[in-house]
Amino acid sequence: MSEGGDRLRSLLRGAAREVTRRATSFAPLVEARRVFGELRQGRIPVPAESLRAQLLRVPDLDSLWIDVTPAGVRVDASFTRGEPVRVTFVPVAARFAPRGAKELVFRVEPPEHAGSARVADLCAALAAAVARAIWAPILPPDDGSAADAIVERDADAELRVDLRSLTPLRRLRGPQQAVLDGMPIVGVGSTQGALYLQIPVPGVRPNGG
């Protein structure tokens, strides 16, 4: 190749590196603006990537596909033992009381899977991601362990998960416990690419409560 051709290839490689560098440097700013916009709407987002990270820790998991839409969290999971699971977790309610309940309720579709132990494990993993999104500043570093939340089945194929039963939350004491008790969550829902928790903001009507 001629000297001119080599020079052109070098310029193109340099331009590509610069575009990549700028895209990378802007990415945190874009994400920060997105999160700030959510907070102004009274929402704490839980991105699909965070949900996936927790779901990947479910015992015996072999493969995982997840898609978060306004209809809920769709999960397609296979395991090293037993049958695969294909379900949607539809956010129904957030039941948070001062010094009391810290619960999320999901409806399972199709409803016949609501009693599955695997589905309960997946639900607990979603709850762990939510807890990290809400209380990250007061929680200990994530040790990578699988979620151990208590998940109970209610009527109408609904699963109720107690966030306070997660090990990191059980270990909170003193001022950290006060922060846990005082966080006002009034609803839960889903949008494209994320679950979200609704917090009280003047002029913003709660959703998913």
DSSP code, position 203 = T
Q: Does residue 209 belong to any structural domain of this protein? A: no
> For the chain, what is the domain count?
2
Pair 36, 47 in one domain: no
Nearest-angstrom CA–CA distance, 119 and 96: 23
138 and 188 both lie in a single domain: yes
Using H for helix, E for strand and C for coil, what is the string for 157-174?
CEEEEEHHHCHHHHCCCH
The upper half-sphere exposure of residue 102, i.e. CA atoms within 13 Å in the direction of its Cβ, equals: 23
Residue at 24 is within a domain: yes
The answer to whether position 205 is within a domain reads no
The conformation of residue 96, written as its DSSP 8-state character, comes to E
Q: What is the pLDDT along the chain (209 residues), one digit of tens a residue?
A: 555 455 545 544 544 454 455 444 443 433 334 444 445 568 999 999 999 999 999 999 999 999 999 999 999 999 999 999 999 999 999 998 877 788 999 999 999 999 999 999 999 999 999 988 888 777 777 777 888 888 999 988 999 998 888 877 767 667 766 665 667 788 999 999 999 999 876 555 555 44
Q: Which domain holds residue 143?
A: 43-198
C-alpha 88/C-alpha 114 separation (Å) is 10
Both 24 and 107 in one domain: the answer is: no
Residues 34 and 114 both lie in one domain: no
Global confidence as pTM = 0.75
Residues 5 and 53 in one domain: no
35 in a structural domain: yes
Q: Is residue 127 part of a domain?
A: yes
Residue 2 has what pLDDT?
Answer: 56
Q: What six digits make up the tokens of 192? A: 């494209």
Q: Kindly state whether residue 208 falls inside one of the protein's structural domains.
A: no
Same domain, 18 and 80: no
206 occurs within a structural domain: no
Alpha helical stretches, state H, the chain:
3-40, 48-55, 117-135, 167-170, 174-182
Are residue 122 and residue 191 in the same domain, yes or no? yes
- Note whether residue 4 is domain-resident: yes
Same domain for 137 and 182, yes or no, is yes
102 and 12 part of one domain: no
